[in-house]
Amino acid sequence: MKRRFKCVCAYDGTDFKGWQSQAGGGTVQDFIESRLEQIFKEKIRIHASGRTDSGVHASAQVFHFDADWPHGCDRLLAALRCGFPDSIQIQKVSFAKNSFHARYSVKRKRYIYRLYEGFAPPKTTRYRWSLGNRRLDISVMNKAAQALLGEHDFTSFSANRGCEKEDTVKNLMELKVSRRGKEIKISTTGSGYLYKMVRMIVGALVDVGLGKLTKKDLERILEAKKRGQKIQSAPARGLTLEKVWY
């Protein structure tokens, strides 16, 4: 009898073409589905909390699938510990109710974006946006971030992903910039995110920190509710999906 499994996984997104399965392969989903096929001897479709773009990382991405497995979750986890490149790691496997859906049951998600004021050392540069000689005023950034908190239509902070229709109103409960030495972290928790939304918010906040944009500009951009505003999208490498709540 098929049961529903909920899995938590982490990945270093640098060398993948994003989460979502695609024709040429090379995505995280492709690797996981191909490993599941080895284990279950049949094609298994997995459903994640959401896709992540090429180069974006995850500390705790959640996905589910249905399969017939005669043993316990521990044994499935042990099987899923192997057969992957080091850059993908399955961390937890548990049974879920059939009503659970990794994408539709999401309550909120946290992303963390990491920056480095200076030239990030090679061991960290895969996971940080290195700012070189530029310096950020994080207190101004935190004040401007207030403009984006709460429920808004975030169309201005999104890119087009083709034909997909999606509710463009999202609720941001957290958007906070913090510093520890040269490391700067932007943490955001929200009900959901549009395509490229986190990276565009980070890009805009960095421009605020550099004095190129103001809180007023962010308000104006948000109000426009239109794509194609002049805001940069922060590089994928700094972004990590940190946690998903159900």
**Per CB under 8 A, does 17 bind its own copies?**
no
**Per CB under 8 A, does 171 bind its own copies?**
no
In the list 34, 125, 142, 229, the residue contacting its own copies (rule: CB under 8 A) is: 125
User: Minimal distance in Å, beta carbon 13 to its own copies?
Assistant: 9
Nearer to its own copies among residue 4 and residue 185 (C-beta): 185
**80 neighbors 35 (Cβ within 8 angstroms):** yes
**Per CB under 8 A, does 191 bind its own copies?**
no
d(CA 151, CA 139): 23
**Per CB under 8 A, does 34 bind its own copies?**
no
Counted residue by residue, the chain has a size of 246
Tokens 């094609």 locate to 43
In the list 20, 34, 54, 89, the residue contacting its own copies (rule: CB under 8 A) is: 89
Structure tokens at 112: 């963390």
Chain mean position to CA 125: 18
Q: How many CA atoms does the CB half-sphere of 178 hold within 13 Å? A: 7
d(CA 144, CA 142): 5
Structure tokens at 54: 């090429």
User: Minimal distance in Å, beta carbon 140 to its own copies?
Assistant: 27
Structure tokens at 164: 């997909």
For residue 125, what is the DSSP state? G
What is the total count of residues that contact its own copies (CB under 8 A)? 20
User: Minimal distance in Å, beta carbon 42 to its own copies?
Assistant: 27
**Per CB under 8 A, does 181 bind its own copies?**
no
**64 neighbors 6 (Cβ within 8 angstroms):** yes
**Per CB under 8 A, does 20 bind its own copies?**
no
Task: Write the binding mask 49 to 78 for its own copies: x where contact by CB under 8 A, - elsewhere.
Answer: --------x-x-------------------
In the list 42, 68, 74, 86, the residue contacting its own copies (rule: CB under 8 A) is: 86
HEC per residue, 49-94: CCCCCCCCEEEEEEEEEEECCCCCHHHHHHHHCCCCCCCEEEEEEE
**Per CB under 8 A, does 10 bind its own copies?**
yes
The residues annotated with a catalytic role in the active site are 53
Residues near its own copies (CB under 8 A) are 10-12, 57, 59, 81, 86-89, 91, 119, 121-123, 125-127, 132, 240
